[in-house]
Amino acid sequence: MADKAFITSEILKWARESANISLEDGAKKAEVSSERLETWENGTGYPTIRQAKLLAKGYRRPFSLFFLPEIPKDFQPLQDYRRDDSKKLDTASIFIIRDIQEKQNWISELFEETGEDQLDFVGKFSINDNPETVARDILNTLKINPNDYSKRPISEWIDKAESAGIFISRTSYLHSKLVLNRDLIQGFAIADKYAPFIFINTKNWDAPQLFTLVHELAHIWIAKSGISNEIDIDYSEKPKSKFHPVELFCNQVAANALMPRELIVQMGEEVYSSNKNVFKQAKELGVSSFALLVRFLKLNLISNNSYQFLKNEAQEEFEKFVAKEEERKLRQKKKDSGPDTYLLRLNKNSKLFTRIVMDSFKNGTISPSIASNLLNTQINKFQKFEKLLA
C-alpha cells in the first residue's frame, strides 16, 4: 500500500484556490475524482505521496509547503490597474506573476545584502507630474533617441533598460497547456529600488509590446507596481472612467517617450497625408500606425475627420498584415521546429537576471539547485545560455 502524505488540508485547498484552479481540474492533476480531492481538502482523507507531489507540481508550489502547520504568507497581490470590467486573472496569469515575484524577491534581497546602490529613478516622479517631463527623463536615463535607433526599436529599449538595471521578462506561455491571454494581461511592473522588474506578454506584435514596455517603465518611474491589460489604446474614443488614472498617465508617458512632441511636429504634412507614409514612419519609431495617428490627433496636427479616414485605412492594412503573418508563421512551422527553446527561456527569465544567476552560481554564492530552480534549467544546460548571451 502506498505511503500516505499527511498534509495540512487547509493548505492543500489554499494552494488550489490561490492558483484559480477548479476542484475538477485539480482532481485531474492528481488523477482522482473531484470527490476524492474534496475529502483531502476537508481533512477526512489523505493523498499518497505520489498524488501530493502531482498536486504540488500542478499548483506550482513546493511539495514541502503542504506539510506546514498553517497557510504561509504568500506574495502580496499586485495592484490591478486593469479596466473596471476586466475578467478575473486566470491560472496562467497568476503563475507568471508568481514566477516573476519569486525572481524579483531573490534578486532584490541579493542586491540589498551585497550593498548595491539603489536606483534613483524608481519613484522619481508621481502621477501629478507632467507626462512629457517623465518621458524625457526616461529617454535621458536610458540614453535613447527615438529619432536614431541603432537596431530594432524594441531590442534597443530592452537592452538599454537592462543596462540601467531594469529586468525585462518576455513570454507568451509557461508551457504548451498554459498560454497567456493578452486580453487578460499585457504586462506588469514591480517597482523596487534595488531590482525593478517588468513583464511583457509576447502574444502581441512588436509595436504593442514596445508600447507596453515603455508604459511599464512609466510605472517604475512613479513607483506604482501593478498589472496592465489595455495599452496602446485609442483612449480618446472610450469613456475614461473605465481606465485607472495611473494607466492613463502611463499611456501618456509612453506616447511622449516613443513619439516626442518635437519629433512629431517637425515631420511635416507629407507624413500624415497618406496612410502609406504613416505606416513607414510608425515602423521607424517602432509603434503602431494607430498609436501614431492618435499622437497626430492629440497634437492637433490632423483633424478628427482625417484621423477617422486614416484610421480606417490603417485598420484595413493591419488586417491584411495579420493575414500575411499567419500564413508566414504556418509556412515557417512546416519548415522547422520553431524558435530556440533556450532563447525563449532566456527571454522569459530576463537576460540580465540569467547572467546574474549564472555568475552567482559560478562564484559559489548560490547552490546548483537554487540556480537551476531560478532559471528553470538544468545546470548542465547553462552553456546554452552562455552561447546566447555571448
Say if residues 138 and 259 touch (Cβ distance below 8 Å): no
Say if residues 253 and 214 touch (Cβ distance below 8 Å): yes
**Residue 236 resides in a domain:** yes
Q: Residue 277's pLDDT is what?
A: 87
Q: What is the pTM of this model?
A: 0.88
Decide which of 110 and 315 is more confident. Answer: 110
pLDDT tens for each residue of 239-282: 555 789 999 999 999 999 999 999 999 987 888 778 888 888 99
**Residue 108 resides in a domain:** yes
**pLDDT at residue 236 tops 70:** no
Asked whether residue 58 falls in the same domain as residue 135, the answer is no
Asked whether residue 128 falls in the same domain as residue 191, the answer is yes
**pLDDT at residue 237 tops 60:** no
Alpha-carbon separation of residue 243 from 54, 228, 387 (angstroms): 40, 10, 43
Asked whether residue 147 falls in the same domain as residue 244, the answer is yes
Alpha-carbon separation of residue 122 from 198, 214, 375 (angstroms): 13, 14, 26
Q: Which of 45, 67, 89 is the last residue of a domain?
A: 67
Asked whether residue 100 falls in the same domain as residue 200, the answer is yes
Asked whether residue 104 falls in the same domain as residue 250, the answer is yes
Asked whether residue 93 falls in the same domain as residue 235, the answer is yes
Q: Residue 40's pLDDT is what?
A: 94
Average pLDDT value for residue range 290-308: 91
**pLDDT at residue 298 tops 80:** yes
Q: Residue 270's pLDDT is what?
A: 80
Q: How many domains are there within the chain?
A: 3
45, HSE (Cβ side, Cα atoms, 13 Å):
11
pLDDT tens for each residue of 48-78: 999 999 999 999 998 888 998 888 887 778 9
Summary mean pLDDT of the chain: 90
Confidence of residue 335 (pLDDT cuts 50, 70, 90): low
Q: Residue 202's pLDDT is what?
A: 94
CA distance 172 to 93: 10
The amino acid present at 37, given as its one-letter code, is: L
**Residue 296 resides in a domain:** no
Q: Which of 202, 230, 258 is the last residue of a domain?
A: 258
Decide which of 322 and 57 is more confident. Answer: 57
pLDDT tens for each residue of 119-138: 999 999 999 999 999 999 99
pLDDT tens for each residue of 350-378: 999 999 999 999 999 899 999 999 999 99
Say if residues 223 and 123 touch (Cβ distance below 8 Å): yes
Full residue range of the structural domain in which residue 56 is found:
9-67
Asked whether residue 13 falls in the same domain as residue 138, the answer is no
Asked whether residue 55 falls in the same domain as residue 98, the answer is no
Asked whether residue 60 falls in the same domain as residue 98, the answer is no
Q: Residue 15's pLDDT is what?
A: 92
Q: Residue 118's pLDDT is what?
A: 97
pLDDT tens for each residue of 133-187: 999 999 999 999 999 999 999 999 999 999 999 999 999 988 777 899 888 999 9
Q: Is 44 helix (H, G, I), strand (E, B) or coil?
A: coil
CA distance 322 to 17: 37
User: What percentage of residues in the chain have a pLDDT greater than 90?
Assistant: 67
CA distance 277 to 268: 11
**pLDDT at residue 337 tops 70:** no
CA distance 117 to 100: 22
Asked whether residue 52 falls in the same domain as residue 107, the answer is no
Q: Which of 38, 67, 96 is the last residue of a domain?
A: 67
The DSSP 8-state label assigned to residue 266 in this structure reads T
